[in-house]
Structure 1
Amino acid sequence: VKLFPHQVNGLRFLQKRESMDEIFKGGMLCDDMGLGKTVQTLALIVSNKPTETDLKTIDELKLKATLIICPVALASQWKDEAESKCPGIKVLIFHGPKRTDSITELGKYDIVITSYLTVVSEFDKAKSSSPLYKGVWWRIVLDEAHIIKNKKTKMAIACCNLKSFKRFCLTGTPVQNNIDELQSLFVFLRINKYANIDVWTSEIKNLIKESQTEKALNLLSKELKQMMLRRTKAVLNASNNSGFELPQKKIHRILIKFYPSERKLYRAIEAKILNNIGDDFDFKSSETKNGGTSYIYTLVYLLRLRQVACHWKLLFENNPDNEETVHTELTTNSKSDSGGNDLDQLFDSLSINTNNCEICMSKIENSSNKLCANCLNMLKPPLESKSLISNAKVDKLLSILSEQKTRKTIIFSEFTKMLSILETTLKSQGFKVVKYIGSMNRLQRDEVLTKMKTDPNTTIMLCSLKCASLGLNLTCASRVILYNPHYNPAIIDQAIDRVYRLGQTQAVDVYELIVDDSIELKISELQDKKRALARAVADGDETAKLKLVSKLTREELKTLMFGPDR
């Protein structure tokens, strides 16, 4: 395969980082999503293979393979790319219950591909029994490396404990929520002074706490210039010598008005929630007047408002008569420590007392119910109301799709129940639809992708935002619809770039559906703040630096609930 000029420069950067006269070598390739980080990495692998001398050892077995760790959904894509672009290379996917436990077997391959969850599973074993931890890898590559952004999680710790002297991080979003996320990548790489938590704290973290943000960013930028390479689509498109050109991309932010009946329901829930929080609610304390955990309960309140903004039916998924509930869908008992600064991670680790109503948090006697009698009485009438048969957001979606019915379209939402509602609606309107969600195994996901790419009659792919926003190549589509906003704009940008990337030949339209005068509008405003942080650190954007705050705190949650003046 012929590399673009920017990819040739990327290869040179990677080769230079591997030729350093240091014990630990490596770096960060942080190109915009869709610029070919995979092919640049494969070029490095084939251009710098280990010699027999490199593999000689006295104490530990050295493996000739590059270990690539990626989300499970990308494992097949990595294997296909490697085998199609690097003829003769031997590739193994180390995943699933039948994976080998023999390090000798792994030693036969040039590339071993595994998932982050598999690494965690292997780490949980005794290290002496896991082939991943028995030897020293020629190099280790973390794809979508921001997945280990929280260094306290078992996933980050498991990756850091793998052995290799050459380590690389691939990510288009090295910073998503706060600057501390970079330090987690530094700990994995081990190639600069900021891998040391004491140095990081004294030179970066403390400066930010003291409102010396610009000084901290300048120190960080100086270090990143040596170890990180980042190019954006905008810069490459504007360059006459890049050999790079993408078609136009248009962002359409669509503000949608609730139908009167929907607005009435939303306002009723909002009023009940705000009344339950009360004026004496302290976002910094651990207890509410109801005896629960204040911050966690407020996240649940926020979730309910987001659900009703998407579709009122999502609330009724909580009814115990349903086989599944929104509670089991959206909450886990994760023990990971979010540090209190990352709304996204806090939602991932959300759990509530099952003896509390999932809307108002009042105690309920029958633990099999998810809603109290008062909330059930408030919410049941819409089911019988003819005025709530339709939904403003769904109707707008259908209007957009009807303009070009044969145009391949990707629709993203983080709520899989919402995707099920849309699937039923779209099929009833004659659309041929496939769905890509996290509960599918790797083979099922591959089948969905193949059908979307090869079947001209399959025009719509419904995607779970988090599992489909990473690494997939969906250039077969040219229209993206973001059904609801997410707190983390990096996840949104990654989703868009599944379609808007190298290989795209058509103009791309992106539709952001946002309900006006609702929690969704406030979330979209929060996204701007996080994007400023990412630009300030990764791109060295001086304007963004001026807008930067040190970190995203609980005050933002307070603003989302009450507005900036509360």
Structure 2
Amino acid sequence: MSVLADAVREIRNALGNGRVTSTIRTKFQATALLLRDERARVRAAELSDSQRGERLKRLDDLATSLAKTAVRHPALLALLSEDAVVTDDARALEREMAGRAGIDVAPPEEDDAPAEEPATAPAKPGVVPQSVISRQMANPFLAPDFSAARPAAARPSRLSGWELLGPLLRSFERAGDGTSTTMELPEPTSLAVPGGRELMPHQARVVAAAAEGHRTFLLADEPGLGKTAQALLAAEAAKAYPLLVVVPNVVKTNWVREAGLWSTRRKATAVQGNGDSVDGFADIVVVNYDVLDRHAGWLGDFGFRGMVVDEAHFIKNKGSQRSQHVLELSERIRAFTARPLLMALTGTPLINDIEDFLAIWEFLGWIDEKKPLGALMDALTDTGLTPADPGFSAAARQCVVDQGIVRRRKVDVAADIPDRRIADLPVELDGATGRSIRAAERDLARRMVIRYEDALAARGSGPRDGIDHDLVAKVATWEQKDAAGASNGDNVFGMMRRIGQAKAALAADYAAQLARSAGKVVFFAKHVDVMDAAEETFAKQGVRYSSIRGDQTPNVRQRNIDAFVEDPEVAVVVCSLTAAGVGINLQVASNVVLAELPWTAAEQTQAIDRSHRIGQSEPVTAWRIIAAQTIDARIAALIDDKAGLAAVALDGSEEEVGSSTDAQHAALVALLTEALSAEAGAA
């Protein structure tokens, strides 16, 4: 009963702001399932009539409270129906809650165990989220978009009998240095965008091209040059809504976050799992490759007027299921909308594995499986050349570039960007690990609340009006001292370590993507087990790395540094924040991944300065991997507040404004204050 009562209260408190998140939906469904199971268990138990009646009444009261909460949120109310789809996360959380209540729980079925799907695994059955059905019912006669004239029928071409795809690919392979890799882009009229933000000049030129009517882009800028913002604002300029965005899972949360920053008038929603939390009325729908198979059906009928594929090299294998789904969706969008916005984003240089770009060109509608199409075929015809003519290769390559290829390197636009900047990449910790971490954070907050209330009662102050912030600071200090001497991990230090472990594979996967697209990467972590997990990920992906740790001899350490600096095949160096944060030169890399956050801005700056130092020829970007909706995000904000991160990013200031203990204390204060505010709101 206490477990159920706590869950109902937490759901009610969390819904105080009126927003239904995927976490709340999962907890709501798990609680409803546990209520039903407990009711059946009480009815079957050997109890007296009075005992049974009393327990059933308490269960009915909790169920009524839960139902009243759901009445205000239709998305939750639908979960109470008998035919509602029960998610794997809800089943897992139900088992976890039952276990906490001391109820014997049947072991999960084999299907519940996470396993990597083989390449030949059958497609998961298609699903249609309830909110999407609501949208379809609200607009059942969705008509094709005839706002612009459809392309005219292909005109006769003297190239019709020629095999052209091979010569087009070879035209890129044989291009010499200095050959254009970017279409001609217009000068922007303004850098300002809604929301008070400002674009960099190179970003604004792509947005200006979309505003002038260009609708297909292969945007191949190096990482750190703001491809996400360019895509979102190009969609705004082209009025390409609703917009579908297909991304790797590691950047899905960041896309939703960036949409909130750049597309302030548009609502973004992410497709998680079976799509239970999808907002069917959103303007921007973000879905990751891994779940595209089960959502391809309704996505194809949604009426999108634009589509963005991030890390587009993921579709290079046209035989893969995800590539086929992406190509099918783009074809359905072209059939629905006369001139949709189609953008493929990738940092992979165009000269590497050029055949992989056939799938991207097909996604953009430039070619089909056999030949160039539409505007590209017309442009090739207009050259007056055939593959047998000496000048065909250069002319053909320019024709492809003019269809919408844009490739800028950091060094090319160095004047546009700071010489050092920090970019946050929020990630969701899904599954049992994420639930466990969030539960541990709640337990820590609850422990401090009890300590605060006990201290308040011992002081004899009586009922309090508001929060005693001096007492909050003292409780945080007590918790901090206890944590420093504790042997278990049930404290802020243990929590940060668990978060680091949970982020390790995600951070390593992102670092591997950076290494493939932009060259060498410096990877920092605090804990040895996080470094171990990252190195395991690199090994599985075939990424060569070296390692700098505190337990190495000076000779081994220098040998590993030399391997990273001098061997072009060593793409990543995995560094300990403590052992490699000072005294070494890694300026061969201009991308730094911080898999775990240090406690102070000074430590962060020292780590970044391994690459950002005299002799570095490119701007340096530090990518902070932050676990969303956890204390990790609080600590990132505290580091920024304490040190004035803008100064650190723009002028290299290394001023220390607070120690590591200050950040730890501030994080605990923030956690306790938030918990007390939530309790006061519930009361």
TM superposition score category, shorter chain reference: 0.3 to 0.5
TM-score (norm 1): 0.40
Tell which structure's C-alpha radius of gyration is larger. Answer: 2
TM-score (norm 2): 0.34
Q: Which of the pair has the greater relative contact order for Cα pairs under 8 Å at 6+ separation? A: 1
